[in-house]
Each structure stands twice: as C-alpha cells, then as structure tokens.
Amino acid sequence: MSLQLERVGRTFAGKPAVQDVSFRAEPGEIIGLLGTSGCGKSTLLRAISGLDNAYDGVIEINGKKVNGIQKTTGFMFQEPRLLPWLNVLDNVTFGLEGNREEKQKKAGRYLESVGLAGNEILYPKQLSGGMAQRVAIARALATSPEILLLDEPFSALDAFTKMQLQDLLLEVWRSYRSTMVLVTHDVDEAAYLCDRIIVLRGQPGTVEREIAITESRPRERGSSELAAYKAEILASLDLTTETA
C-alpha cells in the first residue's frame, strides 16, 4: 500500500512541534524518519497511525484520505507493550480475528519466524527485553499489516540484540513486503534498513532533505558505501551548529 503525506504538521498547545512534512512511500518501501530528539518524528508517526487525529495537512493511504485508525496499519512501539496478563501466544493472537485454532496456528508461525517457538506459554514477566520485543514484532506482523509503523523499535536493546532483530525485520519484510515507516535516531540503523531516509531538523521539525539509499540488500554493515551514506546523513543533520 502506498502512503502519502502532504504538508502534515502538528501543534501542541499553540507550539508547533513539526511542520510541512510531505513525502510519499511506495508499496513495499522502507522509509526512515531520522532526526535528533524533539524534532517531531514520533509525533508524525502517531499522526500516520491514527492514534492522533489533531494534525494539520492530509494523510492518504492508497490515494484515499484517512483520519483515524486503519485496520491495515500496524504499529510497533518503542517498548514491547505486551499485555502482562496474557501469555506469549495470546499476546500475539491479540489483534487477530477468526476462530481460536486458526489464530493460534497463525501466531505460532510468526513466533517461529521471530525465533520464539516453544515459548508460547511464558508470561511477559518471564521474558528478557529482547524476547519481549520479538514477541512485539510477531504481534505487529501477525495481522499482516500493509503499512507497518515502527517507533524506535530497537532503541532500548543492546547492540547485538538490535542487529539480530534488524535482520529479522528485513527477513520478514522480504516475505510480507509491508510498507514500513521507521522512526529512528540511529544513523547506522537507518542506513542499514531503509530505502529512503527523510531527515528532519529543527524545532519545529521540518524536512531537511531526503536521501535515497540505492545499495542493494543484503547490505554489509561495515561497508564503505554505507559509511558514505552515514557521513551524508550526519552532514545533513549538521550537529555542530546545535552544540555551538
């Protein structure tokens, strides 16, 4: 599904947080929203998700103007946000419809693809941070969202788990081809995962520039090509002036 934003902005109590953001995501594309903290990345994502309806501008999904939560949109939060009273399997089936057996079969398949088969009966309190986030990935994917919104999904994880889960995300993306919008402040992550990176800057945040990463997948984390992209991203963020 394609996603289009036209001059989207959001004002909190008279103070604009993000302004005039326009971009288009083609079906199956992975778009990165990158910027320093406070530039309105997550605000934009919440507007796209429909959790926040008080934005300005127009958001279109498949050419149709939307306002409110769409069943075809999935959201992965910064924290796993598992329901503590449900076990792993029931957490994954949470958003599914249909009869119990079908739901569980489907959830089981996604749990397997995030490497958690056999942990169905555990409760969230028994999971490590990485495992919980895997369950959250399985839950977000289980409804087969055509647009998947990810709000710094790996930022709370350690470096190794983060890399594992990034690869996992790409793996499931290869088989399901959801359109993804990934909010991140991690330049490495953006360069490794995204087809296109939209760099936001300032307060209120505006689009500083758009960087297309043409490097084919699988990408080499340490490759010089990615390093060049990272340098370009960092240059566009222009961090030096902010500290001066």
Partner 1 sequence: MAKNQSEVSGIFTAGSKSKPSAAKPKNPFTHPLLLGSIFPLLLVVVWEVLSRLEVFPAYQLPAPSVILGTIAGMAEDGTLWGHVFITSYRVLMGFLLGTAAAVVLGSLVGFYKHAEALFDPLIQAFRSIPSLAWVPLFILWMGIGEPSKIAMIAVGVFFPVYLNIVSGIGGVDRKLIEVGKMYGLNMFQLVRRIILPASLPSFLVGLRSGLGLGWMFVVAAELMGASQGLGYLLVVGQNTLAPETIIASIVLFAVIGKLSDWILKKLETRTLHWQDRAAKS
| Closest by Cα among 33, 38, 30, 62 to 176 | 30
- What residues contact 153, with CB distance under 8 A and at least 6 apart? 76, 77, 78, 133, 136, 137, 165, 169, 182
Using the rule CB under 8 A, is 12 a contact of partner 1? no
Evaluate whether 205 touches 17 at the Cβ level (below 8 Å): yes
Binding mask of the shown chain, residues 145 to 164, with x at each position contacting partner 1 by CB under 8 A: ------------xxxxx---
| φ, ψ for residue 32, nearest 5 deg | -105, 135
| Closest by Cα among 14, 3, 2, 6 to 56 | 6
Nearer to partner 1, 156 or 170 (CB): 156
Beta carbon of residue 20, minimum distance to partner 1 (angstroms, whole number):
26
Query: Which residues ranging from 201 to 240 are in contact with partner 1 (CB under 8 A)?
Result: none
From 71, 174, 177, 221, residue interacting with partner 1 (rule: CB under 8 A) = 71
Beta carbon of residue 185, minimum distance to partner 1 (angstroms, whole number):
19
Q: How far apart are CA 56 and CA 98, in angstroms?
A: 36
DSSP per-residue codes, 204-241: TBEEEEEEE--PPSSPPTT-HHHHHHHHHHHHHHTHHH
Using the rule CB under 8 A, is 130 a contact of partner 1? yes
Nearer to partner 1, 119 or 206 (CB): 119
Beta carbon of residue 29, minimum distance to partner 1 (angstroms, whole number):
21
Nearer to partner 1, 4 or 143 (CB): 143
Using the rule CB under 8 A, is 81 a contact of partner 1? yes
Q: How far apart are CA 32 and CA 25, in angstroms?
A: 10
Using the rule CB under 8 A, is 57 a contact of partner 1? no
Classify the C-alpha dihedral 182-186-187-188 as positive or negative: negative
Using the rule CB under 8 A, is 127 a contact of partner 1? yes
Beta carbon of residue 156, minimum distance to partner 1 (angstroms, whole number):
9
Binding positions for partner 1, rule: CB under 8 A: 49, 51, 69, 71, 73-75, 77, 79, 81, 83-86, 94-95, 115, 118-119, 121-131, 143, 157-161
